[in-house]
């Protein structure tokens, strides 16, 4: 177990190596909404993922953040951007203006005493992987911050006033259910609004977590039917069946 967890500290192993043998919260949406794509994603990068990764690294892994390359152009359609990608052997790059904007998010979060003190607690551990059995299937998770009293997960949002709705849409409820089992600690979301820079600390309720548990149960049902060693149905025959209200 210790050897596996040590290996999973490496992002490449976690996402594309031995970590692929475990289910994760990122599989929930695919299993529930488009299971024909389950297992097909190969870690392709895009603007959303890159921004989120840089945001997290600035706070949690600043040495990694220093290694990023940026280009000062207006859009990714410019000739200069395309040449930059080729010259630096990259699949994707963030723009200079995006770097500045993300650094503003980080500044707001780390300039707040309450958040900073909790993020920088001397007893914290960062980017911690965990694996465990949930509903008879093996799952993985990687906590942003393991605080002595909780798991702290860093999020950005387009509208913090609607975070309680987007949290369910993006399956943060199932993440909460999974992580609280894997790490045996309550999970709390630290959120920054990308536009207004407003900050928020969101503590999941039992109702929120129970909703996440139901999603996990449904996702496992789909996995067992179409992908497990004892699968009973062909994924090509999958259709969505829902009632309309």
pLDDT, tens only, 161-181: 999 999 999 999 999 999 999
The counts of H helices and E strands in the chain are 11, 7
Quick check: 62 pLDDT over 60?
yes
CA angle 181, 117, 113 (to 5 degrees): 125
Query: Rounded to whole angstroms, how far apart are CA atoms 139 and 129?
Result: 11
pLDDT of residue 39: 86
Q: Indicate the DSSP class of residue 141.
A: E
CATH of the domain at 156: 3.90.320.10
Query: Rounded to whole angstroms, how far apart are CA atoms 77 and 55?
Result: 24
Token pair listed for 36: 């024909």
Q: Residue 239: inside a domain, yes or no?
A: no
H helices present in 38-171, as ranges: 47-60, 62-65, 79-87, 96-110, 113-119, 163-169
The structural domain count of the chain equals 1
Q: Residue 244: inside a domain, yes or no?
A: no
Burial 216-225 (b: 16+ CB within 10 A, else e): beebbebbbb
The string of pLDDT tens digits covering residues 190-227 is 999 999 999 999 999 999 999 999 999 999 999 999 99
* Of the candidates 77, 73, 61, 119, the residue with the CA atom closest to the CA atom of residue 99: 73
Q: Residue 242: inside a domain, yes or no?
A: no
How large a percentage of the chain has pLDDT more than 90?
88
Q: Residue 106: inside a domain, yes or no?
A: yes
Structural domain range at position 33: 2-231
pLDDT of residue 44: 55
Quick check: 48 pLDDT over 90?
no
pLDDT of residue 75: 95
Q: What is the mean pLDDT of residues 69-74?
A: 95
Q: Residue 243: inside a domain, yes or no?
A: no
pLDDT of residue 45: 66
Quick check: 42 pLDDT over 80?
no
pLDDT of residue 245: 84
Q: Residue 77: inside a domain, yes or no?
A: yes
Q: What is the mean pLDDT of residues 9-22?
A: 93
First vs last C-alpha separation in the chain: 47
Quick check: 37 pLDDT over 90?
yes
Q: Residue 172: inside a domain, yes or no?
A: yes
Quick check: 242 pLDDT over 90?
no
Q: Residue 154: inside a domain, yes or no?
A: yes
């Amino acid at each position: 177990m210790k050897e596996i967890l040590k290996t999973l500290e490496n992002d490449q192993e976690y996402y594309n190596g031995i970590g692929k043998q475990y289910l994760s919260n990122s599989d929930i949406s695919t299993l529930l909404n488009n299971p024909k794509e389950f297992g097909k994603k190969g870690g392709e990068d895009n603007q959303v993922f890159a921004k989120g990764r840089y945001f997290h690294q600035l706070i949690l892994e600043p040495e990694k953040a220093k290694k990023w390359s940026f280009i000062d152009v207006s859009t990714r359609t410019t000739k200069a951007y395309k040449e930059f990608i080729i010259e630096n052997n990259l699949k994707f790059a963030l723009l200079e203006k995006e770097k500045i904007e993300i650094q503003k998010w980080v500044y707001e979060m780390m300039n707040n005493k309450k958040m900073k003190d909790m993020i920088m607690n001397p007893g914290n551990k960062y980017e911690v992987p965990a694996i465990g059995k949930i509903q008879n299937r093996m799952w993985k998770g990687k906590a942003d911050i393991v605080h002595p009293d909780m798991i702290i997960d860093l999020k950005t949002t387009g509208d913090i006033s609607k975070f309680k709705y987007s949290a369910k849409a993006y399956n943060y409820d199932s993440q909460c259910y999974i992580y609280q089992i894997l790490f045996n600690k309550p999970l709390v979301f630290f959120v920054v609004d990308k536009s207004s820079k407003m900050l928020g600390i969101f503590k999941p309720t039992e109702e929120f977590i129970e909703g996440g548990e139901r999603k996990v149960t449904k996702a496992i049902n789909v996995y067992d039917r179409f992908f497990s060693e004892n699968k009973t149905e062909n994924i090509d025959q999958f259709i969505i069946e829902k009632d309309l209200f």
